[in-house]
Structure 1
Amino acid sequence: MARRPERLSAIDTELSHLPAERRWREWMNRVEAVIFASATPVPREMLTRIVGQDCNIDLIIEDIGEELRGRPYELVAVGGGWQHRTRLAYADVIRASTAPTKPPGNITQHEATVLMAIGYFQPVTRNDLSKIFGKEVGRDAIAALRQAGFVTSGPRSPTPGAPYTFVTTPHFLAAFGFASLRDLPDIEMLEDAGLLKKAISEEEGLGFQADEEDE
């Protein structure tokens, strides 16, 4: 007869037996330990399971952040949760070390520009993307972005045939360090700086004139 797995013992979230200062420190340690161990951003509801409903998680995160000042890593809000990230100032050092790091996703430059367009214009159909780029965006590009976990199907478009639209995922936010879609760089700023048009034109010699043509 197969043995049932043992249930995890309940965690004391209140810690009422500890003095206030030690209780707060234990909550901080728990939160940081879970975020450090997690492979994905840790949402608020997960942290609530280990510190209880009455603990102010925002203040816990703030205090942890203060303690990490001067360290080469920090806690950042990404993808609807929190995650440990190396500070940007050390990016060149990490690259120079040639230490293996996990890339955001194994996608091509073309797929990256398609992802950028989906990020700004979602929900967007493949036909819409083809109009933006001035040439057909193949199913393979969308499939690669799906496989990388960056996009998923959105609501059906109200256009003839009711094709599916595409939207970005929480993994997209986490991989590129955005807390929400509101953190995407302003598209007009990118266009004014020539970065958006440059990213597309460098890849395929395309312009980014969809908005002007639609007007």
Structure 2
Amino acid sequence: MSGGDAGKTTGSKGRARQANAGDEYLLDRELADLPPDLRWREWMMRVEAVVFASAEPVGRETLARVVGQNCSIDLLIDDLQEELRDRPYEIVFVAGGWQHRSRSAYAPAVRASQTPTRGLAPALSDFEAMVLMAIAYFQPITRSDLSKILGKEVSRDTIASLRNANFLASGPRNPSPGAPYTYVTTKSFLSAFGMQTLRDLPDVEALEDAGLLSRHLAQGEAVVTQGDADADEDSFPIG
């Protein structure tokens, strides 16, 4: 590439950056020239457009970039939800943000259509689902302790499958000898199962009564209660 060509390329990149910055600057968030009712309507449409376009739940800070400083995101969402009351889809709050979702009443129709959907969770085997459930309740937890809880070896392949589904992430190293890796659930896990936080997990005692989960680790000493899980929830690395 000649020096002139290189200069043209650099200049083009510089203009592109300026254009992008200008686009952000030129977005009129306050809409002060509009009457209050039209201003509110435009803010509603902007918020819905951003939520609709996103493949992931959209947080408050993201939505605040497209509306005025004195605009209430919560009230906008309330009005949007009311407007969508009779539609087969809705805006719901999951995993720390808002997302468009089909209403559960129409899930059979969506499945029957066999159309790909952006919110479709990967299919899990029964054992993978059990492993994921155990991690959700006992995180951060090592693969060895998972095997002890479930009474069956949890392979690296099983962990890899759940990681590939974006349901798991690495947690802090365990302080035991060898400092093994621990695993925690992700925001994608919360989103896929329609939960806002880990507090939305089913009551662990009910799962115990049904024989689906044991709270006793193999050492026979550590017992995790639902109250403990709630108290420690904010310390879980949800990534």
What TM-score do the two structures reach when normalised by structure 1?
A: 0.87
Deviates more, 1:103-112 or 1:50-59: 103-112
Q: Counterpart in 2 of 1:201?
A: none
Counterpart amino acid of 1:57?
I
Pair 212,152 (structure 1): closer, same or farther in 2 beyond 3 Å: closer
**Are residue 158 (structure 1) and residue 163 (structure 2) matched?**
no
SS at match of 1:145: helix
Q: Is the 8 A contact 1:72 1:86 kept in 2?
A: yes
Q: Counterpart in 2 of 1:203?
A: none
Deviates more, 1:91-100 or 1:111-120: 91-100
User: Matched residues in 2 for 1:212 and 1:135: separation?
Assistant: 13
User: Matched residues in 2 for 1:73 and 1:125: separation?
Assistant: 39
SS at match of 1:152: strand
User: Matched residues in 1 for 2:117 and 2:36: separation?
Assistant: 40
SS at match of 2:153: coil
User: Matched residues in 1 for 2:117 and 2:54: separation?
Assistant: 16
Any gaps of 5 or more consecutive residues in structure 1? 198-207
Q: Is the 8 A contact 2:208 2:215 kept in 1?
A: no
Q: Is the 8 A contact 2:136 2:185 kept in 1?
A: yes
Larger Rg belongs to: 2
Deviates more, 1:119-128 or 1:92-101: 92-101
Q: Is the 8 A contact 2:208 2:214 kept in 1?
A: no
The alpha carbon displacement at 1:76 in A equals 0.6
The alpha carbon displacement at 1:177 in A equals 1.1
**Are residue 146 (structure 1) and residue 163 (structure 2) matched?**
yes
User: Matched residues in 2 for 1:135 and 1:101: separation?
Assistant: 34
Q: Which of 55, 70, 80 is the matching residue for 2:86?
A: 70
SS at match of 1:211: coil
What TM-score do the two structures reach when normalised by structure 2?
A: 0.79
Deviation track 1:51-101 (CA, whole Å, cap 9, x = no partner) reads 133211011111100111111111111111000011111112222333343
SS at match of 1:21: helix
User: Matched residues in 2 for 1:65 and 1:183: separation?
Assistant: 21
Root mean square deviation, CA, Å: 1.8
Pair 48,171 (structure 1): closer, same or farther in 2 beyond 3 Å: same
Pair 120,209 (structure 1): closer, same or farther in 2 beyond 3 Å: closer
User: Matched residues in 2 for 1:24 and 1:185: separation?
Assistant: 38
**Are residue 191 (structure 1) and residue 208 (structure 2) matched?**
yes
Q: Which of 58, 70, 76 is the matching residue for 2:74?
A: 58
- Percent identity (aligned): 59
Q: Counterpart in 1 of 2:227?
A: none
Counterpart amino acid of 2:214?
Q
Q: Which of 111, 114, 119 is the matching residue for 1:98?
A: 114
Q: Counterpart in 2 of 1:209?
A: 214
**Are residue 124 (structure 1) and residue 141 (structure 2) matched?**
yes
Q: Counterpart in 1 of 2:233?
A: none
Q: Is the 8 A contact 1:131 1:210 kept in 2?
A: no
SS at match of 2:39: helix
Q: Counterpart in 2 of 1:29?
A: 45
SS at match of 2:85: coil
The alpha carbon displacement at 1:110 in A equals 2.0
SS at match of 2:65: helix
Any gaps of 5 or more consecutive residues in structure 2? 1-7, 222-239
The count of aligned residue pairs is: 203
Deviation track 1:139-197 (CA, whole Å, cap 9, x = no partner) reads 111111111111111112222222121100111111111111111111222333x2x62
